[in-house]
Amino acid sequence: MDGMILMAGPDAKYETRLQGASIVDVAPTVLALLGLHVPDWMDGKVLVAGMSEEFLARSSPAVPDEESPASKQAKGRPYTEAEEAEITKRLADLGYLE
């Protein structure tokens, strides 16, 4: 489940580590770099840490206030306690859990 995300180009910030990045962050980041709107329903976040200060000053990509489910999962918090209880119940009802 580990991997690498690399950014290059005139708008990239070099010699920066993108901590906590996930594969679902690629699409919103590409949209932001192209100057396109990132839909609210899209999982992932814009990886602003990998963007140059000049680009950020020019474009100001939108950064969502709330974490998406995929971002929570990348940080090791995939479900709330209530969600986990519901999933456990459903798996038990299907016979996957004893």
* Contact status, residue 5 vs residue 74, Cβ threshold 8 Å: no
Within 8 A by CB and 6+ apart from 83, the residues are none
pTM check: above 0.75: no
Segment 48-95, tens digit of pLDDT = 899 988 888 888 776 554 555 555 555 566 678 898 899 999 999 999
The predicted structure's pLDDT at residue 96 = 92
